[in-house]
Amino acid sequence: MTELIFSRIPTMGEIGKVFLIILIVLVLRRLFVTQIIKWMSRAFKKLKVLNIMIEKTKKPLSIIILATGIFFALITLPFNENLMSFLLSVYKSLFVFMAAQTMIRIVEAYFNAYVIKRSEDRRQKQVNTLISKIIKLVVIIIAILIILTEFDVKVQSLLAGIGISGIAFALAAQDTLKNIFGGIIIYMDSPFNIGDIIIINNIEGIVEDIGLRSTKLRAFDKGLVSMPNAAFTDGTVHNYSRRGSRRQRHYVGVTYSTKPEKIRKIISGIKELLISETDVENDGIIVRFEKFGGSSLDILISYYATKLDYNEFMEVVERINLKIMELFHKEEVDFAFPSMSLYFENELKKGMAKE
């Protein structure tokens, strides 16, 4: 059994040497890594972003030192040639994996602490976020290819096989690919940004995150809605944040007993209070006696509020509605409500007979 692992039986001294090396590495690696990080932080003290990037390398660097120590401890044992070659491949693969993780951490730290934070607008932030994700994806793919090569996997043959089966894969994953392309279109075309209020497929909410596959909306009932990006490219998106204002349109009904002079005063008073509102656009105000309703004389009230946030918008609507109520009480005009007049046949006949 030992012949499958060792070229000869290791001595107790060699085994002891392995444990001693591993013990020394475990004791010194934390101190070594800490000192390296401190030295680099002092050397680049004025560069805050670089310090953040250096801090992100602490954990991967610690794992690499530990793996290196264990590897060099194990190769002191008389393993056979095949196992020694396998251990070397495992060590190289682990080194490549940790190097890739370190690179990903550095990219994240750089983009989050410097590039994205210094972006001038939301669209630029989204594009930079997409670039960050693409860089990380490229790093992962390169690391996987290097590791496969280390284990004698013919990467060219593998890529050729992927190319042949690519059509079948594309057909099977066409919805996923459609969502990914939809995400890229959202990033590039920018129909909306994070924080915008939009409505898509009768779902209204605030954009919280734009990913490559899906976009997350925070609905006004506080629920989180995850929409596939294909829905945004195929459907119609209404972006309320781009319009600069929100419209409020409703009717106020007064009783049929209200005199025309009173209706004119009410219309004039509503116009004046809307014009005096700082959160209402003056050029979009419409107050008109529009129609004779079933049980009321209907006055149309339409205006645009400059508050885009839903809660702030409703505060403006509430304030205006309360002022309209005060105006009605001041002018002694009654609000109409749905009513119905009933005429009984016997009483109607009696009335006609008296006449």
Percentage of the chain modeled with pLDDT above 70:
76
CA distance 239 to 237: 6
Confidence check: pLDDT of 261 > 80: yes
pTM above 0.85, yes or no: no
> Side-chain half-sphere of 331: how many Cα atoms within 13 Å?
22
Q: What are the tens digits of pLDDT across the range 106-147?
A: 787 777 766 656 555 565 666 677 777 888 888 888 888 888
Residue 259 has phi, psi (to 5 degrees) of: -75, 155
CA distance 129 to 78: 50
CA distance 100 to 15: 33
> Strands 224-228 and 238-239, how do they pair?
unpaired
Q: What is the CA radius of gyration of the chain?
A: 37
3-state secondary structure 139-152: HHHHHHHHHHHHCC
**Class in CATH terms, 246-331:** alpha beta
**Class in CATH terms, 179-242:** mainly beta
Confidence check: pLDDT of 345 > 90: no
DSSP E strand stretches across the chain:
197-200, 203-210, 214-219, 224-228, 238-239, 246-254, 286-292, 297-305
Mean pLDDT of all residues in 347-354: 55
- The pLDDT value recorded for residue 23 is 83
- The pLDDT value recorded for residue 6 is 65
The domain limits of the chain are 2-153, 179-242, 246-331
CB 6 within 8 A of CB 78: yes
Q: What are the tens digits of pLDDT across the range 208-226?
A: 888 777 888 988 788 888 8
